[in-house]
Amino acid sequence: MGITDLFQLDGRVALVTGASSGLGVAFAQALAEAGADVVLAARRAARLADTAGLVEKAGRRALTVPADVAKPEDCQRAAAAAMAEFGRIDILVNNAGIATAVPASRETPEQFRQVIDINLNGSYWMAQACGKVMQPGSSIINISSVLGLTTAGLPQAAYSASKAGLIGLTRDLAQQWTGRKGIRVNAIAPGFFESEMSGQYQPGYLEAMAARILAGKPGDPRHLAATLVWLASDAASYVTGQTIVVDGGVTLT
């Protein structure tokens, strides 16, 4: 087996949450191009058809499952649908997430809880559902953020707390499951990438943040997806409990 063969995902099945837009689409497409069939989960079910088309264009099978990860029963249903269709789940990408930019003195309990419920709790419920059926050699990848490690000039207490929590969750699931179940658990902490979420920033915000990006520009989602494929593949089979920062140098400034 050559070194490049280690990056291939032929015969594997990936489940991607938040697959209806943004980075979730890039992740699903990259996993399919690397050889995986992909289960696509999101609340906005109507938009999953476009992502499914990209997976099928890459020559792989796609299954769409409407799901709100904040509901444990939806996570169980998504895992069950994957098992019914493909008989296995090898890769879980916990990508579903929302963000708010509300000053801490004005953020309501409902606003804070919604972010935590989707970004952090939802990742836990989905990991629970998939971890029960995953076999040794499987991989869970939690999509955190550099805002779990630093700040970025916006009032994002709920989002930052949820993404920092994901880093802690990653470490703990890795120490519980890697040795006992053979499931690797890692996280990616993206910096500023072009996505639907970044499109919600106020005009001029990304330009103002450019000075903190040593690479000089926002990231290309395909480069982030390449990191994800590596973590999902046998090329990263000795990597677990880690948070891989992909930020163009933001956390160094």
pLDDT digits (tens, 9 = 90+) for 149-173: 998 778 899 999 999 999 999 999 9
pTM: predicted TM-score of the whole model, two decimal places: 0.95
Give helix 109-116 / helix 157-181 axis angle, nearest 10°: 30
Starting at the earlier edge strand, list the strands of the sheet with 243-246.
Answer: 62-66, 37-42, 13-17, 91-94, 139-143, 184-190, 243-246
CA angle 37, 39, 178 (to 5 degrees): 85
CA 57 – CA 71 distance, rounded (Å):
31
The span from the first CA to the last CA of the chain, in angstroms, equals 41
> pLDDT (tens digit, 9 = 90+) per residue, 167-211?
999 999 999 999 999 999 999 999 988 765 555 556 666 666 677
**What secondary structure letter does DSSP report for 251?**
G
| pLDDT at residue 43, rounded to an integer | 93
Task: Point out the catalytic residue in the list 159, 201, 205, 238.
Answer: 159
Residue 205 is among the residues annotated as catalytic for this protein: no
Distance of CA 6 to the CA centre of its chain: 21
Q: In the predicted model, is pLDDT for residue 26 greater than 60?
A: yes
Residues with Cβ within 8 Å of residue 238, at least 6 apart in sequence? none
Domains annotated for the chain, with CATH where assigned, are 9-246 (3.40.50.720)
Q: In the predicted model, is pLDDT for residue 130 greater than 70?
A: yes
